[in-house]
Amino acid sequence: LVADLTQIRRGEKKLHDMNYRWVNRLGRPVWINCRGNVIDDEDGTPMVLLGRVSRASFENKVNKLTGMFNRRKMLEDSISEQFMSKDGHILLLGLDRLLKSYSQYGREYMENIVESCARYLEEMVTEKQAVYHAEDAVFAVCFEGVTREEIQNFYDELMNKIQKKFTITAVA
């Protein structure tokens, strides 16, 4: 984002069209698409970026609870040429006994567990990884160019972070 806006400020680009996350008024992360055109002053120097911010293009690609990309977006990404050309692995993480938690403690408790897991995962992923909230109690972490040992280290670090707040089953 910073690089793109820097190019616009320098006059090297005239169009901004990017997807990124913002924090909404409730403090929750949301995916948005921002698109705009540069309007120059009389000297040809960029004066203003005029456009729009929209969440509409993400309505069916984002989990409403966690704000993370969902299974639909994961499948879309996985069939893209960019993804298919890379050496990658997917780590599926399932929150154990989530339905039991729901029946015992209620929806709010269950949602807190799911949101907590999502935040831990988002804190841990790097630029070479992508995390998705695949469905109710399942998350997927996509790794690019890593070894099984690195995936195991990721899982071990996650287990250290959650410190028995909930349990996770994983398969890579």
Q: State the DSSP string of 145-162.
A: S--HHHHHHHHHHHHHHH
- Summary mean pLDDT of the chain: 87
User: pLDDT band at 92, cuts 50/70/90?
Assistant: very high
- Residue 60: its pLDDT value, please? 86
Q: In 11-137, which ranges are continuous DSSP H helix?
A: 71-78, 81-84, 98-105, 107-124
Q: Quick one: pLDDT at residue 163? A: 77
Q: What angle do the packed helices 107-124 and 148-162 form, to 10 degrees?
A: 130
pTM of the model: 0.74
Q: How much is the pLDDT for 132?
A: 95
The confidence score (pLDDT) of residue 153 equals 93
pLDDT digits (tens, 9 = 90+) for 10-44: 999 999 999 888 888 888 778 888 999 999 999 98
Least confident of 64-73, 75-84, 98-107: 75-84
| 163 CB neighbour count, 10 Å cutoff | 7
Looking at residue 81, its pLDDT comes to 58
Specify the higher pLDDT residue, 154 or 27: 154
At 84, the pLDDT band (50, 70, 90 cuts) reads low
